[in-house]
Amino acid sequence: MATEQTVTATIKEEYARDGSLESTEATVAKTTTGADDDTIDLPSDPITVMLAALLLIAVLAVAYFAAPIVLPIVLALVLNLLFQPGMRALENVRLPRALAALILILIFFGAIVAIGAAVSGPATEWATKLPDGIPRLQERLKFLSQPVATLQTFLQQIDGFMSGGAAPHAGNGPSGSAIAAILFTGTTHFASSFFETILILFFLLVSGNTFLKRTVEILPSFKGKRQAVELSQQVEENISIYLVTITMMNTAVGVATGLAMWMVGLGDPILWGVTAFFLNFVPIMGPLFGVGIFLLAGLLVLDPLWMAMMPAALYLGIHVIEGEIVTPMLLARRFTLNPVLVIISLIFWFWMWGVPGAILAVPMLAITKIVCDGIRPLAAIGHFLSGDE
């Protein structure tokens, strides 16, 4: 809050030096008179559009080739926005910014370490159950063997036709280790840059408003200074609301899933709750993958067959309630995203950065929409990213 007061004081000083007699309210009225709020400005200069497209391509190229450096920075920026409500709360009790930032970082990463320690044991036990449970799964899913065999034969015939009649070989498929390497592309670099993320996050929390102060100082007019501060506060507030709401709802989904799995006898509620929590950060694809996980777990340990289906059914029901009723009601229309663009974003950022990219895809898309909604020249992009109202 002290930084915002400093920014406001800087604006007042510049306003006094300008010698303008026009009040803030009059300025707002003057700039909005005759404007149609429902009109969305579209870029009309083709050169500007081309330069913006080239800049976007250049940024994405840097993000791809410099992923070990860029990924921790992006994560730190997202966490910085997530921690802003906590920073304001701690500053209200007169804690220094450095101490408040250190407390939040210790709480957050301490919770991650504690959760990892709590789920490592149950996860290892379930991993050891899987090889011994394969015959049981084959027995319970034998009614699918014929359709699967038919599909496999069909795919082999197509593969042979496309390769000019060469017979497919079983050894040509990717091994389990290769699949794992593809699945977790970028994750190793992400983990190795853990310290970089913490370091950047700490300094963003301590002095992140420095960029805003410098922007206010270099803008030539009082109107520009005021708009920069208002836009910064509006974007930060909206993004913080979105990230905090999503995190709270995912926590609620994790708690509800853990209790449901404990009630049906699957056991290890902490493991399943944490799994549901993280999967819910990846819309559509995450819950679909979760249904498969809970179906597999139920088939491994629960009898009869209808009871084995209960974990997946309960998880799906919890996700439907959260995704279709609770979260849209809390976030309202302004935070809805185009589902097609969500899927494209997930696929693209998974290709760019692996699993961390898939987790960050939707928050980055939502942040882009909120920023574009707050900047009038970019309002068309924000409208394009919006979902159905």
Residue 255 is predicted with a pLDDT of: 93
Residue 102 is predicted with a pLDDT of: 92
Q: Whole-angstrom Cα distance, residue 204 to residue 78?
A: 11
Ranges under pLDDT 50 in the chain: 14-15, 17-37, 166-180, 182-187, 190
Residue 368 is predicted with a pLDDT of: 85
Q: How far is CA 18 from CA 21, 200, 218, 230, in A?
A: 9, 37, 14, 20
| Sequence spans of domains, the chain | 61-134+186-211, 225-331, 334-389
Q: Whole-angstrom Cα distance, residue 212 to residue 214?
A: 5
Range 40-75 burial, b when 16+ CB lie within 10 A, else e:
eeeeeeeeeeeeeeeeeeeeeeebeeebeebbbbbb
Q: What is the pLDDT of residues 301-316, one digit of tens each?
A: 887 878 888 999 999 9
Residue 92 is predicted with a pLDDT of: 87
Partners of residue 386 on adjacent β-strands: 337
**99: number of Cβ within 10 Å:** 11
Residue 168 is predicted with a pLDDT of: 46
Residue 216 is predicted with a pLDDT of: 83
**Helices within 208-354 (DSSP H only):** 210-218, 222-263, 269-279, 285-301, 305-308, 310-321, 327-331, 339-353
pTM of the complete model? 0.69
